[in-house]
A and B are shown apart, each in its own frame.
Chain A
Amino acid sequence: MHRFANPARFLRLSALLLPWCAGATVILTILGLWFSLFGSPPDYQQGETVRIMYIHVPAAWMSLFVYTNMAIAAACGLVWKHPLADLFAKAAAPIGAGFTFVCLVTGSLWGAPMWGTWWVWDARLTSVLILFFLYLGYMALVNAFDDPQRGMKAGNVLLLVGIVNVPIIKFSVDWWNTLHQPASVVRMGGPSIDPSMLTPLLVMAGAFTAYFLAVVLLRVRTEIAQRKIQTLRLAVAGGPADGVAGEGGVTDGMRG
């Protein structure tokens, strides 16, 4: 595990992975959009609005997937003081918030014509809104401290507390009688959705995952660079002492 905690090794690995993730994002997005807009039939009840599903559902999956990964990273950061885990959680947060926002807005745009309302305070919608606020709260908290280490720690605790919301979102449609429909893809007994609609859904989900990986790799690189900048600035401010103070996190991993 700690083999991958080394930022220098991470930078080399990410340079290797990035072109593949970027390529997969482009190809899967083009394929997914073709399937979503041309290659799939309109729904017999919902007509063309069903095409909103190919954005809405993958975005919702991503909002949960990203948050779960951030919470796992938070646990690694807190338990093993893994320097890259903190940076990963911080780097992933805006992407997760973006996907959650897309999920909420497209859900609204789908709800308006199909449910006759833009918003209801039903269990699924409310718990996803809470997820969105968890993302925003984490981002605000991490940046609220002068000492980034403390900010990360506080943020990690928030992520771990907020993880209870993930199963609540997943099962909200089963536990409460809501306006939102129950799961039709990830459910016991297999998907209950026609293959002609499942294909665009899965391809778009693949595109969003590849997009997330590509952007998060770029953002972790940015975070590593910013950590180095901070270390250099501290070293300048603290005089020519061999820059040990404040080098905690990332540079610790440089020796290895």
Chain B
Amino acid sequence: MTEFLHMGGYAAYVWPAYGIATIVLLGLLVATWKGLRNAEATLKALESARPPRRRTRNSGRKAAEQSAGTPAEASEG
């Protein structure tokens, strides 16, 4: 095990290379995940603050059902 960690005397070069790659890739993943959660939370808050008009498929369909005869609302999808 010690021999493996020693990397034939090149431990100071091999392990930082793997470490940097891990830090960068995991860091990007975490930042992306947090950004997505934040954006989705903000979007939800904004949408619930305003009555959704034709934001989602379902709301559009519902609106169309309620006001049958105005097919403009159902044009999406």
Interface set of A (CB-CB < 8 Å, partner B): 8, 37, 42, 47-49, 51-52, 55-56, 59, 94-95, 98, 101-102, 105-106, 109-110, 112-113, 211, 215, 218-219, 221-222, 225-226, 228-229, 232-233, 235-236, 242-243, 254-256
Contact = CB atoms under 8 A, between A and B. Distances in A.
Contact of A105 (B20, B32, B39): B20
B50 A232 contact: yes
Contact of B7 (A48, A95, A215, A225): A48
Contacts of B40: 225
Contacts of A256: 76
Interface in B13-70: 13-14, 16-18, 20-21, 24-25, 27-29, 32-33, 35-36, 39-40, 42-43, 46-47, 50, 53-55, 57
A255 B53 contact: no
A77 B36 CA distance: 23
A109 B8 CA distance: 15
B20 A106 contact: yes
A59 B21 contact: yes
Interface of B: prevailing SS: helix
Contacts, number: 97
Nearest to B39: A225
A72 to B, nearest CB: 22
9 contacts: A37-B4, A47-B8, A49-B13, A51-B7, A52-B17, A229-B39, A254-B54, A254-B76, A255-B76
Contact of A218 (B9, B33, B43, B77): B33
